[in-house]
Amino acid sequence: MPSNSFWSTKSVLVTGGSGFLGRSVVAALGARGAGRVFVPRSADYDLREVSDVRRCLADARPDLVIHLAAVVGGIGANREHPGEFFYENAVMGIHLIEEARRAGVEKFVTVGTVCSYPKYAAVPFREENLWDGYPEETNAPYGLAKKMLLVQSQAYREQYGFNAIYLIPVNLYGPGDNFDPASSHVIPALVKKCIDARDSGSPTIEVWGTGTASREFIYVDDAAEGIVAAAERYDGGDPVNIGASFEVTIRDLVDLIVELTGYRGEVRWDATKPDGQPRRMLDTSRALERFGFSATTPFRRGLQATIAWYEAERHLLARLGVR
C-alpha cells in the first residue's frame, strides 16, 4: 500500500510532468499526499541548458526528482531526427543528474526506455541482458542516449553515494496520448487512422510493415503507479523493467483496433516500410520482487478507454473549431 507518511513531507520535481505520462505520475503523487509537486514548464526552463537546470532546482528545492522529460516519437520521427533525439535526451539527463547531485537531492528517478534493449534480445527482455547487443537501428540514438543515463546513475552511486534509480518502461498507451500522425506511437496512430477512415468511408487503410513484429504495452496509469512505487520503495542500483507481462503482434493489434473503432474497410500492409524491433516483451519479475509492482489494466479495457477518450476529445475540438 502507498505510504502517505513518506510523501507528505516530500518536495518532488517532475520533469515532463505536463506530458502524457507526467500527468498520470503527478496525479498518483497527489493521491498519495505529496507535500509539494513542482512541474517545470519548457517555456520557463530549458532543461538542455545547465543554467536553466540549476535555476529549476533552486526554485523547486526538491527532495526527490522524477525525470520524465524526453524528446520522443514513433519510427518515422526517430528516422527523421536521430541527432536531435540523441542530443536532447542525453544532455537533459546528464545535466539534471549532475546538478541534482550538487544540489543535495536525496533521490533521483530516471525513466528510461525499452528502446535501449538490443535488437535481438531474448524474449522476455531481462535487465541483465541490457548490454548484450546494439538496439534496433531506427531508434538506437534515442535508446542509447537514455541508456547512458543508467551508466551515469550507477557511476554516481559508486563514486558519490547518490541514490539514483533507473526504470525501463515498455510502450505506453492510454487517454491523453499523442495522436499527431507525424510523431505518434503505434496505438494512437492506428486509432486515429481507423477512426478517420471509418468516418470518411475510406475502403482501405495502409499500415507500415508486415504485422509480424510484436509489442508489449502498458496502460499509462499503471506505468505511473510503477514509477511512484519505485520512487517510494526502491533504492537499488540495478535497472528495473516496468511492463504489463504480455505480447501482441502488430497484426493482432490492428485487428483489435479495427474491431473496437468499428472500421469496416480493408487493411493493406506496406512491407517496404520498417517493422522496427522484431519482438518486445519485458520480464517484470524484478519490479514485483523489489517494490511490489504489477500492472492491473486489461489490454482490451485500456484500448476501449483510449479510443473513447480520443472520440470525445476530437468531437470537443471540432465544436470549438479546432482541427
Spans of all domains in the chain: 4-317
Pairing of strands 107-111, 64-67: parallel
CA distances from 36 to 1, 30, 64, 233 (A): 20, 9, 10, 19
Task: Work out the mean pLDDT of the chain and round it to a whole number.
Answer: 94
Pairing of strands 217-219, 171-173: parallel
User: Which residues are catalytic, by number?
Assistant: 142
- Predicted confidence (pLDDT) per residue in 193-248, tens digit: 999 999 999 999 999 999 999 999 999 999 999 999 999 999 999 999 999 999 99
- Predicted confidence (pLDDT) per residue in 22-62, tens digit: 999 999 999 999 989 999 999 999 999 999 999 999 999 99
Percentage of residues in the chain having pLDDT higher than 70: 95
What would the grid cell of residue 260 be? 473496437
**What is the maximal distance between C-alpha atoms in the chain?**
62
Full-prediction pTM beyond 0.85? yes
pLDDT at residue 296 in the model: 97
pLDDT at residue 319 in the model: 67
pLDDT at residue 1 in the model: 46
- Predicted confidence (pLDDT) per residue in 118-140, tens digit: 999 999 999 999 999 999 998 89
Q: Which CATH superfamily is domain 4-317 in?
A: NAD(P)-binding Rossmann-like Domain (3.40.50.720)
Average pLDDT in the 270-290 region? 93
Q: Is the pLDDT of residue 2 over 60?
A: no
Q: Is the dihedral of CA 123, 136, 96, 99 positive or negative?
A: positive
Q: Is the pLDDT of residue 322 over 90?
A: no
